[in-house]
């Protein structure tokens, strides 16, 4: 019964842990956080009523844009040959970077305005 | 340690939960008062760090507070609370693991011949307990909860929300790993009982 004896030794050690006594402020600290949570206003529900028209409009515009782009690309794809202006590489790179920055700024502005519109604090839209 | 399953009465828990759900926030204090010891001790077994154990227990109480309505009395309040706490501790320790030494680096105190003092015995016990934290996760948690629940497999299985058979298999593997790491425990188990061990049992 060697295994049982060894099991007992491990059992004795692991089962007889000294007991921790909660620190004196533990109860008060838990209750303080509970009180804070209960006093906090309920979370603001997402304003679906306000957001839905905007979301539908955005999806519609993006979809319409995609369809238009695809149809134009298909029509002109076969005949159109693009002649890029003969610019130095450095200028092209700068123009590209400036373009991306402009797109990022426009996206940020649009999302900020949209967020203000959703929360009903807009004086702009 | 006080038997967690017997701490507090089920009726008192149910009454306090009903009062809290009716809007009486202060009634939650009774629940915290009754279960703070078991929850802190349970957390201690998961991390062996006192201040973190209290933080984890506090988080478990807050989670219990937020989800109190989800306890519908199908299981006892303690079963629900321990399962919730185990979930909180497990997730927290996954995100911020305790600093564990690998199992093979856990030092085993010297053999039984030199362990004729209470201090040496305590040091050996602490090594074994620390080795539990170095076990692979799937074996560690069943072992922690099995001993926390005073060697009750079904209580540990309920806290883990695992079948009893799975818990038994993992316990057996965990014990085998510990035995492999501490072969001197075998010698000790075979050797005649030491005087201070007799004293402790009598006490």
**B89 and B35 both lie in a single domain:** yes
Nearest to B109 by CA among B100, B94, B119, B99: B119
pLDDT, one tens digit per residue, over A75-112 is 776 666 656 667 778 888 888 888 899 999 999 999 98
Contacts of A21 in chain B (CB under 8 A): 37
**Among the listed residues B68, B95, B98, B94, the one whose alpha carbon sits nearest the alpha carbon of residue B80:** B68
Chain B CA closest to residue A3:
B186
Of A10, A13, A19, the CB nearest to B41: A19
> How many structural domains compose chain A?
1
Q: How far away is chain A from the Cα of B94, in angstroms, using its nearest Cα?
A: 23
Shortest Cα distance, chain B CAs vs residue A22, angstroms: 6
Long-range contacts of residues A93-98, Cβ cutoff 8 Å, at least 24 apart = none
Q: Kindly state whether A68 is in contact with chain B, defined as any CB-CB distance less than 8 angstroms.
A: no
Residue B155 forms part of a structural domain: yes
Please tell me if residue A17 touches chain B, with a CB cutoff of 8 Å: yes
| pLDDT tens-digit series, residues B12-69 | 999 999 999 999 999 999 999 999 999 999 999 999 999 999 999 999 999 999 999 9
Question: Which residue among B51, B78, B95 closes a domain?
Answer: B95
Domain count, chain B: 2
Residue with tokens 């050690």: A13
How many contacts does A have with B, using Cβ atoms within 8 A?
89
* A108 touching chain B per CB within 8 A: no
Q: Tell me whether residue B147 is in a domain.
A: yes
ipTM score assigned to the predicted complex = 0.75
Instruction: Sort out which chain A residues have CB atoms less than 8 A from B1's CB and list them.
Output: 17, 19
* B131 within a domain of the structure (yes/no): yes
Residue A114 domain-assigned (yes or no): yes
Residues B89 and B13 grouped into a single domain: yes
CA-wise closest residue to B80 among B140, B14, B142: B14
Span B69-84, average pLDDT: 91
Shortest Cα–Cα distance, B14 to chain A (Å): 19
Q: What is the CATH number of the domain that holds B127?
A: 1.10.10
């Amino acid at each position: 019964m060697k295994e049982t004896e060894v099991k007992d030794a491990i059992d004795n050690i692991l089962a007889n842990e000294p007991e921790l006594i909660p620190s004196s402020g533990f109860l008060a600290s838990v209750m303080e956080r509970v009180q804070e949570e209960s006093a906090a206003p309920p979370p603001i529900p997402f304003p679906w009523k306000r957001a839905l028209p905007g979301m539908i409009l955005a999806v519609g515009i993006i979809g319409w844009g995609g369809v238009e782009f695809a149809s134009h690309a298909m029509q002109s794809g076969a005949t159109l040959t693009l002649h890029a202006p003969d610019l130095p590489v450095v200028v092209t790179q700068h123009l590209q970077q400036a373009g991306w920055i402009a797109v990022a700024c426009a996206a940020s502005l649009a999302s900020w305005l949209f967020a203000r519109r959703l929360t009903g604090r807009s004086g702009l839209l | 340690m006080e038997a967690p399953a017997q701490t507090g009465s089920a009726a008192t828990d149910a009454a306090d939960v009903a009062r809290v759900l009716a809007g009486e926030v202060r009634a939650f204090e009774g629940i915290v008062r009754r279960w703070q010891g078991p929850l802190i001790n349970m957390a201690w077994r998961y991390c062996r760090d006192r201040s973190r154990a209290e933080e984890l227990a506090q988080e478990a109480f807050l989670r219990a507070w937020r989800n109190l309505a989800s306890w519908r009395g199908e299981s006892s309040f303690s079963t629900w609370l321990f399962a919730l706490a185990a979930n909180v501790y497990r997730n927290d320790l996954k995100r911020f693991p305790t600093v564990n030494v690998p199992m093979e680096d856990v030092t085993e105190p010297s053999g039984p011949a030199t362990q004729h003092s209470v201090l040496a015995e305590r040091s050996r016990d602490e090594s074994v307990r620390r080795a539990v934290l170095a076990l692979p996760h799937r074996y560690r948690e069943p072992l922690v909860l099995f001993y926390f629940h005073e060697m009750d497999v079904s209580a540990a299985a309920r806290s883990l929300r695992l079948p009893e058979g799975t818990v038994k298999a993992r316990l057996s593997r965990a014990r085998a790993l510990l035995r492999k790491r501490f072969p001197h425990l075998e010698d000790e188990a075979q050797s005649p009982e030491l005087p201070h061990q007799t004293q402790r049992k009598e006490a």
